[in-house]
Copies of this chain bind each other. A is one copy, B any other.
């Protein structure tokens, strides 16, 4: 195959077959899909096994790639959950009659063709297809080579469900994994309305550097928690421990602790208990290093400049002691990736100043940054956390898979 132009053309053509479907029809397709996934577990696991056989036994991708009966049931259930979410398309956003008699309406309509580039998780295939069908979009799935057989059987099942419902199977398409097609996809402004890279920072950087199609960046999270001097220490320790330990591999996990000098001793004396238990490796600035050394914390290193603004995605964090809110704000403005930022404090003025001054998708007062998540925010399944400012910021979920369209109805008005 030389190019993917035919698939792109078929995607654009298919937008007309899905963007006018009513909400019940789309929900019904998803119910059928959940049923089909349950009915075909055996064949899916068989294909999944083919992919797994090509990986080394200790390859870290293995856990992301593997499907089993339990994960399949979770997938089917997530499809049913999406079916129950309100359809964002068709919503009337605005309606007025202008002085000249024109009826002016603004409606939410599907984006059109949504492309997702991702790595080895096959659940993305099902999640994205379900979200796109629910919102009336066509989707182009460009999964990783590692998951090829799994993705192929999943998309085959989705397309069969579409055909059974008398719909165009090109509403959901799997793209070939050959790298040379990525460039064509990234520049297909005539056919693709939005590209979402979902995966490693290097994937996101590559897409950002080469895409001509608009990109929703679901970027890295370099997340700070600032413990202000008035904070209740027990609460601060619990929040920080949760933000770091509960799931260190995700983007809303804590990376850097900022401490007011006045409470640094007390706080560190508290945090070393959960941190030592989980062997959290700490990169400490001079002042926190001195305290942690005195406390005999075993997993301690001196922080270098690169340890601030670093996304650890692991049981590691950096710590800095500073003097007051303004210093914390400056540190965050310099090193934050504008994802999720937190202050722990009992001073209402400082809480308010922090929340307003910090430029991030989500700002927290006295709670763990781990809550930045489509499900936790009540938005349902998410495609990622947007750290950019246009169109979507924070959890990028079903409600953002639409654009606006102005409907102007007249009876001969001229200007």
B-binding residues in A (CB < 8 A): 15-16, 20, 96, 98, 102, 104, 111-112, 193-194, 208-209, 212, 214, 216, 232, 235, 238-239, 241-243, 246, 351, 355-357, 359-368, 370-372, 376-378, 388-394, 403-415
Contacts and interface: CB of A to CB of B under 8 A. Distances in A.
A358 to B, nearest CB: 9
Contacts of A372: 406, 408
Contact of A407 (B15, B96, B241, B363): B363
Pick the most buried of A360, A361, A371: most chain B CB atoms within 10 A of its CB.
A371
Nearest to A373: B415
Nearest to A390: B391
A414 B112 contact: no
Contacts of A411: 235, 366-367
Given A235-B412, A363-B408, A393-B406, 18 more contacts: A15-B359, A96-B378, A104-B378, A112-B389, A209-B212, A232-B412, A235-B411, A238-B414, A239-B412, A355-B409, A361-B406, A366-B412, A367-B409, A367-B412, A367-B413, A371-B408, A371-B413, A394-B404
A162 B168 CA distance: 58
A409 B356 contact: no
A13 to B, nearest CB: 9
A365 to B, nearest CB: 5
A242 B414 CA distance: 6
A382 B194 CA distance: 24
Contacts of A362: 405-408
Contacts of A96: 378
Contact of A405 (B363, B368, B405): B363
Contacts of A359: 15, 112
Contacts of A361: 405-406
A104 B403 CA distance: 24
Contacts of A235: 411-412
Nearest to A106: B394
14 contacts: A104-B378, A194-B389, A214-B389, A235-B411, A239-B412, A361-B406, A362-B406, A364-B409, A366-B413, A367-B410, A367-B411, A367-B412, A377-B406, A393-B405
B238 A365 contact: no
A413 B246 CA distance: 13
Contact of A212 (B208, B365, B371, B376): B208
Pick the most buried of A364, A378, A413: most chain B CB atoms within 10 A of its CB.
A413
Contacts of A98: 376, 378
A409 to B, nearest CB: 5
Pick the most buried of A20, A357, A359: most chain B CB atoms within 10 A of its CB.
A359
A360 B404 CA distance: 9
Nearest to A101: B367
A403 B351 CA distance: 21
Contacts of A243: 414
A208 B194 CA distance: 15
- 8 smallest A-B Cβ distances: which pairs? A367-B410, A242-B414, A389-B403, A390-B391, A362-B406, A370-B415, A367-B413, A391-B391
A389 B246 contact: no
A238 B96 CA distance: 24
